[in-house]
Amino acid sequence: MKFFVDTADVDAIRELHELGMVDGVTTNPSLIMKSGRDIKEVTKEICDMVDGPVSAETVALDAEGMIAEGRELKKIADNITIKVPLTWDGLKACKVLSGEGNMVNVTLCFSANQALLAAKAGATFISPFIGRLDDLNLDGMELIADIREIYDNYGFETQILAASIRSANHMSEAAKIGADVATAPPAVIKAMANHVLTDKGLDAFMKDWEKTGQKIL
């Protein structure tokens, strides 16, 4: 499973990138706002750092506007993925932009039917939002499984990009189900390394090592 980082924080991306943990990046208007930077400037800096797809989202609500904005965002770098919402206009924009050879990420997906439509429209990535479904007492992972089954049934090449990841458990569950990609905030990716038994075992080792009175360096 590929790891995308869901942030526009360049320093956080750089730290994970140096560890080989970044296969791509996803941004959205909220993350751009949080960064406090110009969308084109920060996106260009991210694209120069990361070789993989970098999602930049359109903000128009009509298909023509999304197409125009998508073409403008694509000028930033070759690895830009144009992000459009899963609305009827978003699907129209996806069809045009993907037909022009662009990578397109269709976002805000909350049903298997929506994912099926996005695949038919030529989406490179479909972004089902796990955490927001969980917030409504629905099973976000069940949606990932349903999309995986449908795409496998018919050989769709659209990649499932598990989004709205809230925990390390979300990451492992998405991987077990077969999501192609998971995008998560830096803190969630770092949390995957944590385990209470690792901490306990390391503490015991250090106490025993201290008793030996030895040094390695």
Q: How many Cα atoms are found within 13 Å in the side-chain-facing hemisphere of 100?
A: 14
Kindly state the tokens that stand for 8: 């526009």
Q: Give the single-character DSSP code of 150.
A: H
Contact 118, 158 (CB under 8 A): yes
Amino acid residing at 197 = L
Q: Across the chain, how many H-helices and E-strands are there? A: 11, 8
83 is annotated as an active-site residue: yes
Let me know the angle formed at the C-alpha of 76 by 56 and 7, rounded to the nearest 5 degrees.
35
Q: Distance of alpha carbon 174 from its chain centroid, rounded? A: 12
83, 200, 207, 211: the catalytic one is 83
**Which segments of 34-193 are extended strands (E)?**
54-57, 80-85, 103-109, 125-128, 159-162, 181-184
Q: How far apart are CA 47 and CA 52, in angstroms?
A: 8
Q: Which residues are catalytic?
A: 83
